Amino acid sequence: MIEIIKIIVSFILFIIALFIPKNYDTLKIMLYFISYLLVGFEIIVRAFKNLWKKNILDENFLMMIATIGAILIKSYEEAVCVMLFYQIGELFQNLAVSKSRKSIINLMDLREDYANLKKNGKVVKTDLKKIKVGDLIVVRPGEKIPLDGIVLEGTSEIDTSKLTGESLLRVVDKDSYVLSGFINISGQITMEVKKTYDESTVSKILNLVENASEYKAPQEKFITKFSRYYTPCVIVLAIIVGIIVPFILNKDYTPYLYKALSFLVVSCPCALVVSIPLSFFSGIGKASMEKILIKGSSYLEKVAGIDTIVFDKTNTLTKGNFVIDKVKAYEISEDKMLELVSLVENASSHPIALALKQKNYKKMDLNKVSNIKQYRGLGIKAKVLDDIVLVGNAKFLKQEKIVFEENNEEKTTIYVALNDKYLGYITIVDEIKEEASLCMKLLKKRKIKTIILTGDKKQIADKVAKRLKIDEVYSELLPQDKVNILNDILAKKNKNKNVCYVGDGINDAPAIALCDIGISLGLKASEAAIEASDITIMADDLMKVDTVINIANKTMSVVRQNIFICILAKVLILLLTLLGLSTMWEAVFADVGITIITVINALLLLRRKV
């Protein structure tokens, strides 16, 4: 607000000075001087601070010497205009950055400032940072869930859209795991806190976004380095134009000094310095609107150069929810075999076990089962009434010396035996995500190579790759195998292109960290994957991978447009200045006007469709 007031007062004084008659020169000059100091004092201070730090080669130094030179040749109104319009340009930039930041903050309007702590039978509003793991908190209808935890009492519908983008409400009850940022809609729930505020989902997301602008893209670094060479060249050329040329030609110094000063003003690289970081920030803001959190602009630029994407399979290309595909029973009915399997698998929380017991879960008599013994990586053996039931893979049945015929289908197969006699098998499938096929088609159109790295069986991985038309597939891998294969892929890549890895599990974290771009996908992504990733997609939507590429391409397009606009305008005005066909007014437009144009162009990125 203070900056706006200073600009307004400076502008009013400038207008008054313009209309004061020439016979009141002292008053006129005084008003110009006050107007100049109101908008230029801060720039002059910055220039001297940089001079003290031996860092004079920036736009502040150029602005200072250009305007002081204009005052020396008695072009007072032009000196004021340079500073005034420069500050107006800065104001436009700040407004644009605020709008971009606001779009991110609106997305992250997730945080509660307090929690309803339940202690000694009482519920008290308590600061989030005072809540510890294990504390009980109450979340009433309409409140945001303040911390991550497990529901102990109550049933309710919750709105997860702020985090996941899903419009459908989710029902939670006892033992449901809920995240901070979800909104409780219908019923009161009591939950046990599993993460403190600093470790909560919302806190991590907010930190991710707030720190995003601290990372600079190579394009920005280039401009910083560019000004170190550019500024001294401009100053040398200005000295040649303003002092050496009139000395050689034995001409009056005043018009040449005027040209040199105009040359200095128009040469300021502030339009580039302002517009390019803003373009990247707008891109990050646009991505955040799409539930895509990018840790910095350097990663946004890298995404635009992707030519290979490596995918994990489970929970990334597939849903990770196993369902029964086929039941084949020989000695008993299919329903009877499913009931036996459900009873035995009831003790296991493995995803495959959940699929096996889902049909008969509610009608099972768990008193029938006893002596349950699990064999890691093989299966389960248990006693159902007086019978011994085995449920497991082919290796388990072979180990137990049970005669059976192995199923050759490209599916996960669970074999069942009763009292050492083979009963039949059940095939389990992990469903491919509905949007996976369309996503792969869009990536093909972009000429991006696709690869699967998975620890799953070769037959299953090959089937998914064939369905989705993936270019290459590597299966039955341990985490270290993924890293070794990725190292080979990275070693063979084009040096101007980037390799991206998309995954969600703890075992994906090393691969995510290794690649040029690492993306953690979905609400189920592990903390290790999120921590290692450069980009986090807070939705279980594979199409967001294509969306982030689209945003990155549009951002880089805006960056290139702004660079072209700045350089073209400056070259044209510089030529006109050297030929004596322009004044400092044109120089001001080239420096400040182009800044405003490029800032608006960057800001429009927030409104463009992806």
pLDDT in tens, 541-565: 999 999 999 999 999 999 889 888 8
Catalytic positions = 312
How many degrees, rounded to 5, is the angle at CA 317 between CA 311 and CA 320? Answer: 120
pLDDT in tens, 51-98: 787 666 666 776 787 788 778 777 787 788 778 877 776 676 566 556
pLDDT in tens, 95-115: 655 655 555 555 555 566 789
The count of residues in the chain is 610
As a whole number, mean pLDDT of residues 412-431 equals 88
Please classify residue 373 by burial: count the beta carbons closer than 10 Å to its beta carbon, then call 0-12 exposed, 13-18 middle and 19+ buried: exposed
| Residue 487 to residue 77: CA distance in whole angstroms | 62
* Whole-number pLDDT of residue 165: 47
Percent of the chain with pLDDT over 90: 21
Averaged pLDDT of the chain: 81
Neighbour count for residue 161 (Cβ, 10 Å): 16
As a whole number, mean pLDDT of residues 296-317 equals 88
* Whole-number pLDDT of residue 351: 55
Q: Please report the DSSP string for 344-361 in residue order.
A: HHTT---HHHHHHHTTTT
Taking alpha carbons only, the member of 567, 560, 559 closest to residue 283 is: 559
Residue 178 vs residues 139, 154, 208, 538: alpha-carbon distances, Å? 11, 13, 20, 15
Under DSSP, the state recorded for 522 is S
pLDDT in tens, 35-57: 999 988 988 888 888 778 766 66
How many degrees, rounded to 5, is the angle at CA 437 between CA 431 and CA 442? Answer: 155
- 286-300, 347-361, 529-543, 583-597: segment of lowest average pLDDT: 347-361
Percent of the chain with pLDDT over 70: 82
Please classify residue 488 by burial: count the beta carbons closer than 10 Å to its beta carbon, then call 0-12 exposed, 13-18 middle and 19+ buried: exposed
User: What are the residues whose beta carbons fall under 8 Å from the beta carbon of 522, sequence distance 6 or more?
Assistant: 315, 316, 504, 537, 539, 540, 541
Under DSSP, the state recorded for 391 is E
The beta strand positions in 199-316, using DSSP E, are 292-294, 306-311
Residue whose entry in the numeric block shows the structure tokens 């690649």: 515
* Whole-number pLDDT of residue 542: 93
pLDDT in tens, 130-151: 899 999 999 998 888 989 999 9
SS3 252: coil
Q: Is the pLDDT of residue 210 over 70?
A: no
* Whole-number pLDDT of residue 441: 95
Under DSSP, the state recorded for 158 is E
- 378-387, 543-552, 569-578: segment of lowest average pLDDT: 569-578
* Whole-number pLDDT of residue 395: 86
- 162-166, 515-519, 595-599: segment of lowest average pLDDT: 162-166
